[in-house]
Amino acid sequence: MQALLNTGSTIDEGRLAKGGNKYSDEYTKECAVCWMCAEDFTSLGCPEKVSVTSRDGKHTIAVYSKVTEAMKSGQVFIPRSIWANIVVEPDTFSTGSPRYKGSPVFVEPTNEEVLSAEEVVLKLYMGGE
Amino acid sequence: MVHKNIICPVCGGSCDDVQIDLDTKNRTIDVQNACKMGNAKFQEVVSNHRLLKPTIRENGKVKEVSWDEALEMAADILVNARRPFFFLGSETSCEAQEVGLHIAEYLGGPADSNATICHGPTVMGIQESGMVGATAGQAKNRADMVVYWGVNALESMPRHMSKYGVFPRGYWTKRGRFDRTMVTVDPRVTPTAIASDLHLQLNPNSDYELLSALFTILNGREPHPSVEEITGIPISVMKQTVEMMKESNYVAIYVGLGVSSSYGKHRNIEIALNLVKELNNYTKCNIGALRGHCNVAGFNQLASYLYGYPFGLDFMKGYPRYNPGETTCVDLLREKDVDAAFVMSADLVNHIPADSAKYLAEIPMVCIDIAPCPTTTASDVVLPGVIDAMECDGTFYRLDNVPVYFEPFTDSPFPETKSNEDTLKQLFAKIKARKEA
Ligand code: SF4
């Protein structure tokens, strides 16, 4: 399914990030989550986890799914975090600010493991050190 | 011991009414008045995951070292780089950022701050069209209509609505919330939208079109019918919004990353600012950005005052240059245009897109931080940070660009440094010693 990705704060994301708990399970459960509406969730087959892929297909990340009335069909939301930023478009349109809001992404059901923030850095950014 | 009127060093709200009771013996801290986010950071003073020892990475292994060894290695990394990049994060004082800017100038590298990945486009929009601004107090006392555009204030600056925006009783808004109409513009049904009187649930990336349509209506014209499909908002609702604005005594508009990070970027802000100017022909109206990071406004003020540009500075030619898209953090890293990095008080690896973050993790990096996070994991040298407004004094700029001087209620836990400013001064001395040797 193609969707527009929105990212932003949630209060618990803020609480955990500012409290220095980015490597906690609670942070992963709060932030490694893709919010979508019931209609999109059903069309994907009600998966527990989804993989979100950037438009250019270069980056993919597995996150939990969450159904909410806050979203409209064709739009997904991931709290701002390392998981969301894996698929945020790095183009800045000559402003310096990447497209944290409105990046097109592909969302599919997956069985892949959801990585913790530390695992994302070590496996995806530091080549498995 | 109880301390009153402590400044919260977490978001741009810089709340100045926090009360804390620190029990050093039992290592507990009781925090009153701060929000969930603020409280979490105050707990860092006594937390057991606080970084207390400098570390370096050697042959892939992380080991604890003395402050002096860590500073030596940091200086080596920065002096030996051909183009070291300085990311002077916003969760620290202007005083520390100032030293960082001077180091960048001395070494001829680019320097940037959280503004670039936050309200950078907003600042660019202001450069294009100027801004009708006001302090938070003006808006609190006068505004009877409040618009949150592209910002979920309840979750990004949790006390904004209660301290400055919607609920407080002002001089001309004596009944607080009852004297104010609140409108939220957001593609998502956020808690802020739920608390509003009117929610314009626009389609993503259609802020420019919606602002243009409001502008057209304000000028007495009929917007093109296609704007309904593009924005998802009926023209009748747009007309109602404009009428509400014109009938108010004072409209305070707060913009967030929803406007400046969506498609259109600084052009969205530019047209919003022009709409505000036009609205001042009918009523009083001001606009301000809700700045998520604590002292992010401070870097803009400081860099403009010292070097003439608000962010994305490059000292490569010996004088400051500013070219967003070339000299800004995400672009420099995406284009692999720097070969070492210094990151202060910001979890940069967490906050930038994968292409840029991956390169940042590959190059030698020095960071100052208080807790384990992706940036400390990817760094080659980690210097423990001192928490501003809790363990040292200094200056922040609040969201409305008002400078706020803060004083500590306890001391730095490190005998080697009093503040991040102090750490940077020590680093600068080592860098100078190497360069001048
Ligand atoms: S709103 Fe911001 S400044 Fe105020 S207490 Fe919360 S985090 Fe701190």
What is the CATH classification number for the domain harbouring B111? 3.40.50.740
What are the distances in angstroms from CA B99 to CA B75, B211, B303, B357, B427?
A: 14, 40, 11, 25, 10
**DSSP helix/strand/coil, B62:** strand
Rg over CA atoms, chain B: 23
B18 and B58, same domain (yes or no):
no
**Kind of pairing, strands B321-322 and B313-314?**
antiparallel
CB pairs under 8 A between A and B: 198
Q: How far is B307 from chain A (nearest CA, A)?
A: 18
CA of B34, closest atom in ligand 1: 5
Q: Which residue of B has its CA nearest to A97?
A: B117
CA of B7, closest atom in ligand 1: 3
The number of distinct structural domains making up chain B is 3
Ligand 1 in reach of B157 Cβ (< 6 A):
yes
> Cα–Cα distance between B173 and B184 in angstroms, integer?
20
Q: Is B252 on the interface with A (CB under 8 A)?
A: no
> Cα–Cα distance between A100 and B118 in angstroms, integer?
9
> Cα–Cα distance between B252 and B272 in angstroms, integer?
12
DSSP characters for B132-198?
A: ----HHHHHHH-SEEEEES--HHHHSTTHIIIIISSS--SS-TTGGGG-EEEEE-SS--HHHHTSSE
Probe site for chain A from B199, B350, B360, B379 (most A CB atoms < 10 A):
B350
DSSP characters for A3-68?
A: EEEEEE--HHHHHHHHTT-TTSHHHHHHHSEEEE-HHHHHHTT--SEEEEEETTSS-EEEEEEEE-
Q: According to the model, what pLDDT value does residue A127 have?
A: 84
List chain B residues with pLDDT less than 50. Answer: none
Under 8 Å CB-to-CB from B162, ≥6 apart: which residues?
B168
B38 and B87, same domain (yes or no):
no
B129 and B271, same domain (yes or no):
yes
Q: According to the model, what pLDDT value does residue B1 have?
A: 84
Q: Is the dihedral of CA B133, B138, B142, B147 positive or negative?
A: positive
B256 and B356, same domain (yes or no):
no
Ligand 1 in reach of B37 Cβ (< 6 A):
yes
List, as ranges, residues 16-75 from A with C-beta within 8 Å of B.
16-23, 54, 58-59, 69-72, 75
> Cα–Cα distance between B36 and B155 in angstroms, integer?
10
Ligand 1 in reach of B14 Cβ (< 6 A):
yes
Under 8 Å CB-to-CB from B74, ≥6 apart: which residues?
B342, B366, B381, B383, B427, B430
The phi, psi pair for B435, rounded to 5°, reads -65, -35
| Chain B positions in Cβ-Cβ contact with residue A95 (cut-off 8 Å) | 120-121, 124, 265-266, 324-325, 328
Q: According to the model, what pLDDT value does residue B293 have?
A: 85
Q: Which domain holds residue B22?
A: 2-42
B184 and B332, same domain (yes or no):
no
> Cα–Cα distance between B405 and B194 in angstroms, integer?
35
Q: According to the model, what pLDDT value does residue B332 have?
A: 97
Q: Across the interface, which of A10, A70, A90 has its CB nearest the CB of B353?
A: A90
Q: In what order do the strands lie in the sheet with B321-322?
A: B61-64, B55-58, B381-384, B365-369, B340-344, B84-88, B110-112, B313-314, B321-322
Q: Across the interface, which of B41, B257, B350 has its CB nearest the CB of A101?
A: B257
- Between chains, do B36 and A59 touch, taking CB under 8 Å as contact? no
Q: According to the model, what pLDDT value does residue B60 have?
A: 87
Q: Which residue shows structure tokens 């990046």?
A: A103
Under 8 Å CB-to-CB from B235, ≥6 apart: which residues?
B213, B217, B222, B223, B225, B227, B228
B313 and B396, same domain (yes or no):
yes
Q: Is the dihedral of CA B399, B404, B410, B414 positive or negative?
A: positive
Residue nearest to atom 4 of ligand 1 (CA): B15
B242 and B131, same domain (yes or no):
yes
- Between chains, do B353 and A98 touch, taking CB under 8 Å as contact? yes
- Tokens describing residue B110: 């680019």
Q: According to the model, what pLDDT value does residue A128 have?
A: 64
B303 and B388, same domain (yes or no):
yes
Q: Across the interface, which of A59, A81, A95 has its CB nearest the CB of B124?
A: A95
B138 and B279, same domain (yes or no):
yes
Q: How large is the average pLDDT for residues A47-75? A: 96
- Between chains, do B155 and A10 touch, taking CB under 8 Å as contact? yes
> Cα–Cα distance between A77 and B363 in angstroms, integer?
31
B212 and B125, same domain (yes or no):
yes
**DSSP helix/strand/coil, A103:** strand
pLDDT at A129 over 60: no
ipTM of the prediction: 0.96
> Cα–Cα distance between A91 and A80 in angstroms, integer?
17
Burial class (CB in 10 A: 0-12, 13-18, 19+), B262: buried
B311 and B257, same domain (yes or no):
no
B225 and B124, same domain (yes or no):
yes
CB B19 within 8 A of CB B1: no
CA of B17 to the centre of ligand 1 (A): 10
Give all domains of chain A, ordered by start, each with its CATH number: 2-125 (2.40.40.20)
Q: Which amino acid is at B48?
A: N
| Chain A positions in Cβ-Cβ contact with residue B258 (cut-off 8 Å) | 8, 101
Q: Which residue of B has its CA nearest to A37?
A: B188
Q: According to the model, what pLDDT value does residue B407 have?
A: 96
The phi, psi pair for B410, rounded to 5°, reads -150, 180
- Tokens describing residue B178: 């009852």
